[in-house]
Every structure is written in structure tokens, then in C-alpha cells.
Amino acid sequence: MGLFQWLWKSITGSTVEHTDQRLVKVGDRAYVENAPYVLPKDEQEIDRLDLQHYVFRYMLRDNYLAPLKNPGRILDIGCGTGLWAIELAKGFPTADIVGLDILKPTLDATQRPRNVLFLQRDVLKGYHLRNKHSTMPICVS
């Protein structure tokens, strides 16, 4: 039993069930194991994050505020469900969009446009962009 499991059991009296390599089940919710992200990472949270995206888009009247004319590359740090990156890809079909998150979005291949790449990365541990170009619009969602 790892420290997280032991600590949870000592506090709540219940066990933590592993759902896959990176998620642990606590009660009826799934969380990223050993990560500083405190919110769940399950279907209920995916629905909440997507709703939050739509509310922000409605309030801002667009997906972004920056004066983007024709970006070649866009980096979405903390891409969550991937919805924002996918919508941006439709608006900028020639841009290469990279979404980073502690877990990859749970999308099937038909939902992801060709110009979007999702990578599983913990950016708090550092991430180096290996690219010959020195500029890239960075968007934190």
C-alpha cells in the first residue's frame, strides 16, 4: 500500500481502488494519483469542464481575446478535455495545435482534427519544446 492509499484509508476508513496506471478511485470519483491537481478526472468532471468552457466562450463572445491573425502553432497548457483546442483548430485549420495535460483527453480519433496533437505531460515538472522556431502563442486554459 502506497502513502496515498495509506493516508486516505487512515482518514476515511475506506480503501482506494486503482482504475488505471494514473488514476485512483476514491468513493465514486477518480483522481490523478500523485499529482497537484486536486479536482477529479472522471466523466462528471469532464462534463463540468466542458460546461465551464461554453460559459467562458459565451461571456467572452469568442474562444480567445488575443489578436490572433494566422498563427502557425498554438500551445494549450492544461488542455483538460481538449474542447478548446479542438474548437480553435476548426477556426485555424492551418495551425498546428498542441494540447498538454497531466492526462490525455479521452477523445476518439474521429473527434480530433488532424492539426491537433494531445500529449500527456506534467508541465510542473518541466517541458522542453523541441522546435526550430522560437515563437509560439501559448494559451493556458
Q: Specify the pTM.
A: 0.73
Q: Indicate whether 16 belongs to any domain.
A: no
Which is more confident, 24 or 134?
Answer: 24
**What percentage of the chain exceeds 90 in pLDDT?**
36
Q: pLDDT at position 68, please?
A: 85
- CATH code of residue 99: 3.40.50.150
Q: pLDDT at position 125, please?
A: 78
Find the domain containing 108 and state its range.
Answer: 68-140
Q: pLDDT at position 16, please?
A: 45
Query: For residue 5, what are the contacts with CB-CB under 8 A and spacing of at least 6?
Result: 15, 16, 24
Q: Is 131 exposed, middle or buried (0-12, 13-18, 19+ CB in 10 A)?
A: exposed
Number of domains in the chain: 1
Rounded to the nearest integer, the mean pLDDT of the chain is 79
Q: Are 56 and 80 in contact (CB under 8 A)?
A: no
Q: Indicate whether 101 belongs to any domain.
A: yes
- Summarised one tens digit per residue, pLDDT across range 8-35 is 455 445 444 444 457 888 899 989 888 7
Query: What value does the mean pLDDT take over residues 93-112?
Result: 86
